[in-house]
Structure 1
Amino acid sequence: MAGLSFNFGRAARSSNRQFLALSVSVLVLAGCGLTITAWAEEHSAKQVEKDKKSPHDAEGGAEVLPTITVTDTSGAASGETDTGFVAAESGSATGTDTPLSNIPQSVQVVTKDVMKSQQSQSVMDVLHNVSGTSRLGLNSVVVRGFEAPVMIDGQVRSGSAQSLPPAAGYARAEVLKGADSILAGRMAPGGSINLVRKRPQSEAVREVTVETGSFGHLQNSWDLTGPLTPEKELTYRLIAIGQYDANNAFGYDGAKDGYLAPSMRWTHAGTDIVIGGEFQSQRVPGTPATFIGVNGPIPLSSLMGNPADGTEEDTKTAYFDVEHEFDNEMTFHAKGQYQRLILSGRLNTLRPMAVMGVLTHPAAPLALDATQDTWNLEATLAGKADTGMLQHEILAGWRYMNNSAVTSVGMGELIFLQAPDERLPPVERLDMLQIPDEGGRDSGLFIQDQIDWNRLHLLANLTYNTAKSDSADAISVWTPNVGVAYQVTDSISVYANWQNSFQSNVGSILASGEAAPPTKGTSIESGVKLNLLDDRMMVSAAVFRASNNNSIQSNPLIPGTVVLGGGNVSRGIEFDASGELAPGWSVIGNYTLSDNEQDDDNYAGLPRHQGSLWTTYDLQDDRWHGFGGGIGVTARSGYDYHFEQVQYPVPAQAQLDASIYWKKDNASVVLGVKNVLDDRLYSRVNNLGPIVFVEPGRTVLLTGTFRF
């Protein structure tokens, strides 16, 4: 019986009766001299351990049976049961909870344990753990060379990636590679980011975290969840986070962030309902930038602009998620989200431009006020059926998004700088120009079939996308996608896919005043996935090609408008690994070899090589039990910014991070240092011109977490 395991949960959609039968079976085994150890709901494993005696030491000479491990996968796709650095399932790529090894697509997951071990504060801190993923300027994320939408629970969120809720509000972060998924069309061909909210739990957990660090950093967060009724059918969760920074690394006035997320959940007789809200008010300080010369970035000695430069954002979100399982194995799922974003920015911005063939570096005072309202709705019906030897899981659904915005922009006179760190006056009141509201509505009807035949898994879906803006006629596009995965062995699977994407560009206006045409994309991918060391380690590798046409970029000369580019092509090889190599030794790492071609005169290239490695080790000696440490490196090769037929180089770089920690059942303390060597580091340039943003120097964080 060694190695025997039971699996129950959404992979099989078992009922309470099945779970009861399993529980009885385990209790019967317990009568054979086994000890049952129950873990909290947050853990994914419930272990049955044998007595710590040798088989021959048992009373009466009876032999003690080997250990039996019972694995609970319920909630695996939501991230609530993730433990360690490896995840088992995802519900984002297919719309149904599916083992990662059966999905014919590259899907990478960063678990909450990875986030905690790295003291991650934002989504930007998390995504370097995934191959092919990088940051573009301040506000955007790039996957496989293309800007990627950031979603929460599968629904698009307004605002920039920089202003997302804190990482402590999420159970996991997922990166879905490729032109499309069942999210259907509203993305570039590189992929998308999906953040999974923490949900109310039936077992009480009360966790408080206090953090301090460099630049006057202070943060306090509370995460409270548990039942509201004796039957545990009604549960709640309350997450509250406050952050204050006296200043940032280059002397700008510091960040301030307040976040409150209440939610409630009711489960009964196959029905699961979650309602919640998010309220966030934050100030995002200016980020230092410098020019890129023909020999590389010009060093900064202080901030560029004024210490008061920054933006303020207030976001209010209300959402619901309803799921009901019928007796005939059909499942109805509906979810919706409303979000209002109010933004106000006052800052000095760099505006590189060529004058008579000579690159100049003016700055411009910028004022931006915006109010954006976004509605998302989605409803699906899933069911199972057999046709001969084929097993089908069919999903049909509809999605809708309505987006509107009122924006006012003001820009002052250009100031030609002598140096990138020249101090400028604060941005005063400017004459504001209101940009016409170009509201848009996107909808999609889709159908999908997941077909299993022994070790063969086929995924095919088709979406009919429709987009309309206030000033343009409706645009309709079909996007088909197909992928196949084959399990060579129980631990090795190979896959391939062909996918298509569609971006309506609704609300994007050319300088001529005309609406921008849609952008269409295509990707192909092939890869291999390995589940190693009894599923404690997941390794994947992929080769891909992604391309699009009619790409758009922000117009640096006329705010609020876009310029139309040609087509972009990105190709490469990716490698990802995460999990537990040995008792107490966890690792997550990735590597990307990529090549990028753009049909445009002005664009930021991609590093040829990039990757990261982070590993932690818990000391196994009883005298040092609870102590451990982590160390990691994030590195990339150099690349060029192409501007007016001149190449401006950005050098290669590597960042070293390290931590030491102590943790027990109800408490932990982590002392971490980011950029240990205090190297000058640059984040990826944006598309406004040959400028690059400067990353902070050495940063120290001390984090204490307590459960009660």
Structure 2
Amino acid sequence: MVAVLALCAMPASAQTPVAAAATAKTYRFDLPAASLVETLRAISRVSGVTISIDSESVTGKRAQAVSGTLTLADALATAIGDNDVEARATATGYWVAVANKLDIVFVVARRDQAETSFKADRSDTATRSGSDLMEIPGGVTIITSKVLETQQMTSIQNALANVSGMSFKQSPQGAPTFGIRGFGETALMVNGVADNSAAMTNVFGVERIEVLKGPQAILTGAGSLGGGVNVVIKKPQAAPIRSVMLQYGSHGDLTLAGDVAGAVTEDRRLSMRVIAAHSQARDNTAGFDGRKDDSFLPQLRWKDETTDLIAGLSYGKQHAPVPRYTFGRRDGVILPVPQLMLGRPEDGFETRQRRAFYQLEQVLSTSVTLISRLNRSLQETEVHVRSPAGLSYATGAANDAPTGEVPFFAGRTDQKQNSTSGDHYLRILGSTGPVTHKLSLGFNHNETSSHQSQWSGPMTTVKVYPPASTTPFGDLRADASTVSSIGDQKTKQYDTFLQDLMNWGDWSLLVNLRGTRYSSEGSTIIPPKTYVTPKTTLHKSTPGVGVVYALSPEVSLYTNYAEGFVPSTLPSCVGGLIPPKSTRNREVGAKFDLFDSKLSVTTAAYELAQSNMSVYNRPGNCYNVRDAQVTRGVELDAQGQVMRGLNALLNYTFTTAKDVGNPATNYTGVPKHKMSLWATYDLQGDAWRGLGLGLGVSATSRSKGSTNARYMLYTPGQAQLDASVFYKSGPWSTTFGVKNIGDRLLYATTVDSSFIPVMERRNYMLTVKRDFK
């Protein structure tokens, strides 16, 4: 805090690293000859000055040794040497690029690195300071749009399988959910701002997906126990984009998408981008009507020397069919996939999202930049599926002798959710003695209101084994016609926060502090009674700290501590409300930036401990709290270019979870081992120019699928092999991919014996893309 007060008290000229360099401020450098990108990063770290690098301009170039007490300008000139690149001071740092591109990257909007590479070097979200990933004291995995394109991804959910520490669960009455490091309460963001509809964003409009490991209360306040997922939307740019994509796959899965971008004005400061996509499949593996996905994303961007403003709208509408699933017996045996369609073709999940947003970066002075982001999101969801209650057993029957009948409940849910979220702060650059600072000081807010109605109907018992001769299901909307509940809820969250990234030589220290004011109120009607939850208000402070030591330009070591929480409205047995459910993350790790900054590797070991789990006290009709889940694990993520033509994405997770208060607790859906690898190779030599291959493998060990210790069900250990072949010639590119080449019977993560999702067997996808200049 002393450093912060000193920063705020300093005059503007003293706070400005670039201005200081201009007035001959000197720094002590002792950098050996290395790749130019690594040396530029080291100079940035020592001086505290942001150095933005055009990766295409500096890749493969070498820097001379930089040694002695030098000004920033002299250090850059020494490093660059005879390389055909230039460095130019901007309002907040330096740009480094080749001479004929410098004016372009200096002023106008450009295509992001994530759209052209498996690797992304920076994250604006993790520290709010636009820091290099090597300086961030925590695990951050970025899935770029280039990865999404080569894998022919169709959803955010599937893309997250590329990330270590991710777990997935699915129930018959909801879309698939995911967790990080064993906890399902995950912060969801779009462009760094809280948005619960983030996972429904159409993949064709996604620039990158940032997965932040560990609690993210500093970013979103309440609701993040294990980590956060930030979906970054593709931005407008001045360079023209004119592309059309046609994709066709198994089950008649057809997608048509277009992407148009370019300058609007002659000076190229105003640019635009419009992305639209339509997807529709005939059916799915379970025989239900196929998926549908429509999206439209128009944006405008003004970018000059001091202002970068993006404003846009997005619209999405989806239909997701009931997935293929099967059942488990009490003795843990998974039964064959039913031959009977377990519902009517139209059953499934309907969603619609509308979003308006803006992002502003405004340079106020050479040391102060205003960042302001705002999302207004409207989401509507309808769930109309029949929920299985599990296999029926005759009275006195043995565990392995079910009747073959399954009761199905008729249920339907409509939910409307509106939210307004914003993140607004000042990014202040300065120094106190030899320590440089990137200070983010600001205000965050989120207001959400939701209305949910549920209908139910009579239960239908169906002979599944052997299958009934006729479909016994009626129209679900007609069957589920009795109102079972109507609920309304409003939450408001207002926060102030401070993040200071301090650099001193090879050391970086990140200090976080957030103060949250969270309030909620609601009502529920369960005919004929109405239950009102009065307004409750919570005040919560969440600290965080992390340290990074740069062992060399290619290797950094880090450790951190972070907290997360989820508010509660349950009455405490000692009066008032029970305290929020909380997590504490302790982590150590190492990061590697290899092969001329073409490949990044992050390793981490962590312990994530939960406290304040609620325990019901029946006599007092109140709740006590206790410590509960502790997750420990090791993670590995690697992505980028391994060698010429070979790009790869690898992750591995080792996880254990236990309940310190009740060792008998079973945590479902968390395998001990999980890994995936995706690699593409562009064949070398003139005879093979344009031709390439892709290969992927994903595997998990078995995981517990039920909480009943007596009747334990497991998702079996399994592996899947995928492959593709692609060809590029001029403006045309074509990819043919095959998933689950072995046509194996595989199961998604099992969490209940009455619903065991079955993954798709061998399936195909052909993608043809045409770029128009």
TM-score computed with the length of structure 2 as normaliser: 0.79
1:7/1:71 contact within 8 Å kept: no
Of residues 454, 459, 464, the one that matches 1:419 is 464
Shift of 1:463: 0.6
Q: Superposition pairs for residues 60-459 of structure 1, below 5 Å?
A: 79-80=112-113, 83-137=116-170, 138-147=175-184, 148-159=186-197, 161=199, 164-180=200-216, 182-293=218-329, 294-302=331-339, 303-352=341-390, 362-419=407-464, 423-425=471-473, 426-429=475-478, 430-459=481-510
Of residues 451, 460, 484, the one that matches 2:547 is 484
Shift of 1:564: 9.8
Q: What are the Cα deviations for residues 456-485 of structure 1, in whole angstroms up to 9, with x where unaligned?
A: 000010111121112232011111000101
Shift of 1:328: 3.1
- Partner AA of 1:636 in structure 2: T
- 2:638 is aligned to 577
Alignment pair present for 1:503 and 2:540: no
State the SS of the aligned residue for 1:337: strand
Alignment pair present for 1:679 and 2:744: yes
Change over 3 Å in CA distance of 1:333–1:378 after alignment to 2: same
- 1:64 is aligned to none
Shift of 1:186: 2.9
Shift of 1:82: 5.2
Shift of 1:601: 5.1
1:444/1:465 contact within 8 Å kept: yes
2:247/2:768 contact within 8 Å kept: yes
- 1:541 is aligned to 603
Change over 3 Å in CA distance of 1:73–1:85 after alignment to 2: farther
- Partner AA of 1:655 in structure 2: Q
- 1:670 is aligned to 735
* In structure 1, distance between residues paired with 2:552 and 2:217: 26
1:521/1:549 contact within 8 Å kept: yes
* In structure 2, distance between residues paired with 1:180 and 1:671: 39
Change over 3 Å in CA distance of 1:517–1:182 after alignment to 2: closer
State the SS of the aligned residue for 1:297: coil
1:373/1:403 contact within 8 Å kept: yes
* In structure 2, distance between residues paired with 1:376 and 1:541: 33
Change over 3 Å in CA distance of 1:78–1:640 after alignment to 2: farther
Shift of 1:634: 0.6
Shift of 1:158: 2.8
- Partner AA of 1:337 in structure 2: N
Shift of 1:419: 3.0
Shift of 1:437: 0.6
- 1:55 is aligned to none
State the SS of the aligned residue for 2:712: strand
Q: Superposition pairs for residues 474-623 of structure 1, below 5 Å?
A: 474-504=537-567, 518-550=580-612, 567-598=628-659, 603-623=667-687
- 1:558 is aligned to none
Shift of 1:388: 1.0
1:79/1:111 contact within 8 Å kept: no
* In structure 1, distance between residues paired with 2:218 and 2:730: 39
State the SS of the aligned residue for 2:742: coil
Shift of 1:436: 2.6
* In structure 1, distance between residues paired with 2:410 and 2:128: 45
Shift of 1:318: 0.6
In proportion to residue count, which structure has more helix?
2
1:675/1:697 contact within 8 Å kept: yes
* In structure 2, distance between residues paired with 1:639 and 1:706: 43
What number of residue pairs does the alignment pair up? Answer: 660
* In structure 2, distance between residues paired with 1:674 and 1:232: 42
Change over 3 Å in CA distance of 1:206–1:101 after alignment to 2: same
* In structure 1, distance between residues paired with 2:411 and 2:315: 27
1:628/1:661 contact within 8 Å kept: yes
Farther off after superposition, 134-143 or 562-571: 562-571
* In structure 1, distance between residues paired with 2:501 and 2:579: 33
* In structure 2, distance between residues paired with 1:300 and 1:436: 36
Change over 3 Å in CA distance of 1:105–1:440 after alignment to 2: same
- Partner AA of 1:587 in structure 2: A
Shift of 1:399: 0.8
Change over 3 Å in CA distance of 1:585–1:269 after alignment to 2: closer
2:109/2:303 contact within 8 Å kept: no
Change over 3 Å in CA distance of 1:505–1:281 after alignment to 2: farther
Extract unaligned runs of 5+ from structure 2: 1-32, 58-71, 87-94, 522-533, 616-622
Alignment pair present for 1:629 and 2:696: no
Greater gyration radius: 2
Shift of 1:503: 1.8
* In structure 1, distance between residues paired with 2:670 and 2:35: 45
Of residues 467, 470, 473, the one that matches 2:536 is 473
Shift of 1:354: 9.9
Q: What are the Cα deviations for residues 311-365 of structure 1, in whole angstroms up to 9, with x where unaligned?
A: 2222111111111012231011111111111222221112349999989953211
- Partner AA of 1:127 in structure 2: L
Q: What are the Cα deviations for residues 640-663 of structure 1, in whole angstroms up to 9, with x where unaligned?
A: 123333311111111110000001
Change over 3 Å in CA distance of 1:652–1:160 after alignment to 2: farther
Q: What are the Cα deviations for residues 358-380 of structure 1, in whole angstroms up to 9, with x where unaligned?
A: 89953211111111111102211
* In structure 1, distance between residues paired with 2:644 and 2:103: 18
Q: What are the Cα deviations for residues 365-398 of structure 1, in whole angstroms up to 9, with x where unaligned?
A: 1111111111102211110111111111111111
1:7/1:72 contact within 8 Å kept: no
Alignment pair present for 1:701 and 2:765: yes
State the SS of the aligned residue for 2:328: strand
- Partner AA of 2:767 in structure 1: T
State the SS of the aligned residue for 1:200: coil
- Partner AA of 1:681 in structure 2: L
* In structure 2, distance between residues paired with 1:89 and 1:149: 20
State the SS of the aligned residue for 2:376: strand
State the SS of the aligned residue for 2:244: strand
1:306/1:348 contact within 8 Å kept: no
* In structure 1, distance between residues paired with 2:624 and 2:350: 27
* In structure 2, distance between residues paired with 1:81 and 1:7: 20
Farther off after superposition, 341-350 or 270-279: 341-350
Shift of 1:45: 10
* In structure 1, distance between residues paired with 2:643 and 2:673: 29
TM-score computed with the length of structure 1 as normaliser: 0.85
2:113/2:120 contact within 8 Å kept: no
* In structure 2, distance between residues paired with 1:382 and 1:575: 31
- Partner AA of 2:770 in structure 1: F
Q: What are the Cα deviations for residues 61-116 of structure 1, in whole angstroms up to 9, with x where unaligned?
A: xxxxxxx9999799999945553211111111101110111100000111111111
Q: Superposition pairs for residues 4-83 of structure 1, below 5 Å?
A: 4=36, 12-13=49-50, 79-80=112-113, 83=116
* In structure 1, distance between residues paired with 2:433 and 2:305: 31
Instruction: Please provide the CA RMSD for this pair.
Output: 3.7
Question: Percentage identity across aligned positions?
Answer: 28
Change over 3 Å in CA distance of 1:689–1:192 after alignment to 2: farther
Farther off after superposition, 365-374 or 178-187: 178-187
State the SS of the aligned residue for 1:96: coil
* In structure 2, distance between residues paired with 1:167 and 1:191: 21
Q: What are the Cα deviations for residues 166-193 of structure 1, in whole angstroms up to 9, with x where unaligned?
A: 2111111111001226304334332111
Shift of 1:427: 0.9
Q: What are the Cα deviations for residues 596-640 of structure 1, in whole angstroms up to 9, with x where unaligned?
A: 124585641411111001111101110110000001101000111
